[in-house]
Each structure stands twice: as C-alpha cells, then as structure tokens.
A and B are shown apart, each in its own frame.
Chain A
Amino acid sequence: MSPTASTLTSGVPAQGTLASQSISLAVLAAAFAIVPAVVPSAHLLQLATLALIFAIPAIGLSLLYGEAGQMSVANGALYGVGAYVGAIGAREQLFSFWAGVPCAAIAGALAAFLVGLTALRVKGHYFLIVTFAFAELWRICLVNLKGLTGGNQGVLVLDEVRVPGLGDLHTLAQFYYLALAFVLAASFCVVLLRFSSFGQSLRAVRENERLAVSLGLNAPMVRLAAFAVSGALAGVAGTLYAYTVKHIGPDLFGAHAGIQLVLILLIGGARSPVGPIVGSLIFFLVPEIIALDPISTQIVYGIVLILIVMLSPEGLAPGVSRAVMRYVRGAQPVGTAQPVGGPSGSISR
C-alpha cells in the first residue's frame, strides 16, 4: 500500500460519519432511481430488482458481521422465514403485504433470537457452524412440513401489493422502486444503528470482547440483539421477495442462500452502507453480463473473491471509494485535502 493510501485508513476500516454514510446512501439512491429509464432490457431490470431485494438481508448481516465481527450463514434461512410468513399469510388471507412486512420482521427477529440463544454460549467459527446447522434444518423442515409449506412445490402468492395512491403494483419498474425504497430504509436503519451507542458496543465487542465485558457490557446479549436485527431485516426482505416473484420454494432459503449473503458482503464490503447493495448487484448481474454457464460462474466467483480479499480486504465499495478519494485529493491543491488529526499513517499492526 502506498504511503498516500495509508494516510487514509492504514488497514483500519473506513468508518466515516453518520453524515458521510447518509450522503453516500443518498448518492446511491439518486443513481439507482434512473436505472429503470436507462436499463436496456426487462430481464436486466428484473435481475436488478432481485438484487436489491437480496441486498436487504445482506444489509442486516452487515450489522452483525461488519460491526460485531460475527458471521452467520443462517440469514438466508431467516430470509426464508419472512418469505414463508408473507406467502402463507397471503395464501390463508391472514394479512396483506403491508401487514405481512411487520409480521415477517417480528418472525425473522424471533427466529434469529432462538437460533442466537446458542450465541450466548458460542461465538466466532463455532457460532457459524451452529447457524449452518439451523439453516439446513430450516430447509429440511420446509420440504417436509408439506401441509403448511407446500413441500417442494412451495407457495404461490396471488395477492397484489397495493400502494396508496398507486393502486396495485404491476409493472417491473414499480417493483424495482418498491425494492429500492425498502433497501434505502433498511440501509438507513443500519446506518443509524451503526452510529448509535449500540453500534459502538458492537464494535467494542468485535475489537476486544474481554475488555468490553470488564467494563460492564453484556457482550453475548449485544451480539444476540444484532443478530435479531439482522433477522428482522431478512424477514422483511423475504416477504418483499414473495410478493415480487409470486412463488417461493424451499431451495431458495437454505445454507446456500446464507453463503451467498456472506459472499455479497465479502465482495461489496460489510462496513459501508453501499457495500451490501453493490455486492448484491455484482453477484446478480455479472454472471448475466458475461453470460457464463453455472459452473464457469462458480469458478469466476472463486477467482474474483480471492482477488478481492487479496487486493481490497474490506470489500469493493470501500476500496473503490478510497481510490476515488485518492484521485480527487491528488487533483486538489496541496494542503486542502488532508484532515487534521485524522487517523495517522503510523499504525502498524
């Protein structure tokens, strides 16, 4: 890393401020708002919508992984909890989309809480293994509880999403904007939490749990709360997915989906608000754009992931934004760019 780059972060993740993260979200929102107008095909717009929906559980996981340092592969299953709550609620005519969203959030948070109770005993890799087991258990339950879940056939969602003032949503662009609105709301929630005292304690737990505990923090409970929040966001996204795609099945929500969420965070970056969104878009659109078969796609993912971890371990979003900042600073007159008293370049760990 060159000396100029090290003056910015020196391996310490760029955290930014509440204002800077909100601004980057606003810029992203503006850029994404014009996508339906410029996207060349309906198929790409559909993919972009799915990518946005799948970014929401990634945004939730970014709180757990990016701030608390705890990885989970159960969030794909928690996404499924929300999807099934929304879909079954619609099938049984229990609630509409807008009532389904909070129900799915509660169900996702509750499921995460139950799984996370083990987090009071295990953490790190051990917790990761526990979440893997729960994710597969969930998928197997979905297949076998045929009466409730429809088994391998899944559940059809026939209800429409009714938006006040617009009526029922039908066009792809409408669903795209709905997904974008949910992504921004979820991102903003996570940004607010990141800069709250709760976010501060998550980082303290990540950095030095023993010290955090010695200062009076109930570290396992804080981790559990972060996991529950990530479960709530995954649940919301699940219901959104069910109403957008109109059909859900068990294979979408096992450990495989959880691993995909982890990949998205590794690609995009877990500590920046735009990281999960960018990661999800790359994950969905790149194989489509380069038009590869599934096996070659896996190989490309593997190679790309290794390159990202080696070249920009915090993910692409912080790496790219740093490169841009370096370029901008390089273009400015000397003396205006470097903040006084910022992270010094002397950090050596």
Chain B
Amino acid sequence: MTSAPATLACRNLTKTFGGVTALRDVSLKVSTGEVLGIIGPNGSGKSTLFNVLSGELRPTAGEVAWAGTRIDGRAAYAVASMGIVRTYQSASVFPALTVRESMQFAHWAAGTKVGLPIDKVAALTGLHDQMHQHCGALPYGYQKLLGVALGLLTAPRILLLDEPAAGLNQAEVRRFLQLIRDIRGVADIGIGIIDHDMSLVMPACDRIAVLNFGTLVALGTPAEIQRNETVLAIYLSGDVRTDASR
C-alpha cells in the first residue's frame, strides 16, 4: 500500500486563451499522501489548472512533471494511465451504463495497476445499493460520488477532484468529507480538491493554494490561509466575485 511518495509538480505554468491569461506563472506541487486544496473566485483559473495537469490542455509556457518526468504535452489518456486522474465539475457519468458496468470499465482501464476492488470502492462511496441502476438515473449527489469511485478504481496516485461539493447539500458535503478521509485511510494517493465550500476544503486539506486572476496568491495550511490578509481581501472585499458562501 505504501510506496515511496511521488510528486506531481507544475513549474511556471502559464495558459492563455487568445488574449485571456487563465494561468500566470503558477508553480505548485501535490504529493502522494497529502491533500491539497485549491480555492479562488470563479474564473481564477482553478479548473484550467486541473485541465493542464491532467493533460487535457497543453500549457502555453511552463512544465508539468510527475515523479520527475515531464508529462505536459502527453495525451490525456496517457496522463490518466500514469495515475493522474481527475473528476469533473458537473457530474460526468456514462448515462446508459449501470453503476457496476461503469465501475468494471474503470477497473479494467486501470490495466495492470493494482487498485481497490470494486466492492470495496462501492462500499467506500456508499454506492453498493445502486450498483444495478443506470448512471443517468442516479441522483446528482450519487453521480458525483460515482465520479470519485471511477477515479479510485483506476488505481490513481493523484486524484484531482474538481468541485466535488458543488450542488451538494450540507449532509452530502459532510459525507464527502468523510469519504476523503476514508480514501486517505485505505489508499496511498495524493488528492487535489477544487472547491468553494470552506466546510469541505478547510477540514479536508493539509495545504491550501489560493488562485486569483490566474496567479497563485497564497499557499499554506488551512489555519494560515484563514489568517492571510490577501485571501481575506479577495474573499471579503465587495469588488471581487465572491462565491465562497455559496
């Protein structure tokens, strides 16, 4: 279960879309065994960061490295099969497949990597009673859990969760928090979480990175971030799109 820690790192990452700079000179690391939170207002570049890390987008400048090997420019499937797996902001499932079929697919996609068995992941994510349902018919909260379950079944080393709590009620958020703790208990993986919900991010994360207008403005423990004046200014001043209380 425990192997030598490996690190997913980006250095001086910049991503522009035409005239818009979505990421500017961002350097960040997440290692196996730790949970890194990424917060920031809407449009601050969080999802773009995940898209670049997971190989869906190529960086305009800078580089991404996994365990010392450069991986930017590799195809998204290749990055995923190296163990860097992401989930999507809006629930993303295989609508006409059943939960079990999707899980079998994800398990198969893991190839020779040894991951958690399907039944264990189903129990962990609380989907064991939904196994025969079609994914398209699942309630939204379950679809988001399924996204994490599918990611887990590919035996990832780094799991990037894009707004796992968005659209969930408080009970579901608490359950998600417990899920992240449970995952840490059974698998040696690093987790990156983008979210606006501080009741999830603060207790779940070891470190938190704050993005604003594509720039990394703060990085520290949850306690440090809560006291950081720049962060407070971003989230509390009226002139910035603040949706942290959503």
Contacts and interface: CB of A to CB of B under 8 A. Distances in A.
Contact of B102 (A13, A197, A204): A204
B109 A211 contact: no
A141 interface: no
A343 interface: yes
Given A216-B154, A346-B137, A201 B92 contact: no
Contacts of A213: 76-77, 80
Contact of A214 (B54, B98, B110, B111): B54
B132 interface: yes
Nearest to B54: A214
Interface string A330-349: 00000000000111101111
Interface in B8-45: none
Contact of B92 (A13, A200, A211): A211
B119 to A, nearest CB: 16
A201 B109 contact: yes
Nearest to B129: A341
A217 B109 CA distance: 6
A208 B95 contact: yes
B186 interface: no
A343 B134 contact: yes
B106 interface: yes
Interface string A23-65: 0000000000000000000000000000000000000000000
B46 to A, nearest CB: 17
A288 interface: no
Given A200-B105, A200-B108, A347-B137, A214 B94 contact: no
Contacts of A347: 134, 136-137
A19 interface: no
A169 B77 CA distance: 50
A207 B106 CA distance: 14
Interface in B82-97: 85-88, 92-97
B133 interface: yes
Given A200-B101, A203-B94, A211 B88 contact: yes
Contacts of B223: none
Prevailing SS type, chain B contact patch: mixed
Interface in B39-94: 54, 56, 75-78, 80-81, 85-88, 92-94
A344 B137 CA distance: 9
B104 A216 contact: no
Interface string A186-219: 0000000000010011011001101111111111
B143 to A, nearest CB: 11
B151 interface: yes
Nearest to A203: B97
Interface string B140-152: 0000000000110
Given A207-B95, A211-B93, A211-B94, A216 B111 contact: yes
A349 B95 contact: yes
Contact of A342 (B56, B78, B92, B132): B132
Contact of B104 (A200, A218, A219, A348): A200
A348 to B, nearest CB: 8
Interface in B109-138: 109-111, 132-134, 136-137
B136 A214 contact: no
Interface string A1-24: 000000000101100000000000
B109 A216 contact: yes
A321 B108 CA distance: 32
B85 A215 contact: yes
11 contacts: A12-B96, A201-B105, A203-B101, A208-B95, A211-B92, A211-B150, A212-B109, A214-B76, A215-B151, A343-B133, A349-B136
List 9 tightest A-B contacts by C-beta distance, closest first: A216-B81, A207-B94, A216-B80, A347-B137, A197-B108, A341-B132, A216-B109, A215-B109, A218-B77
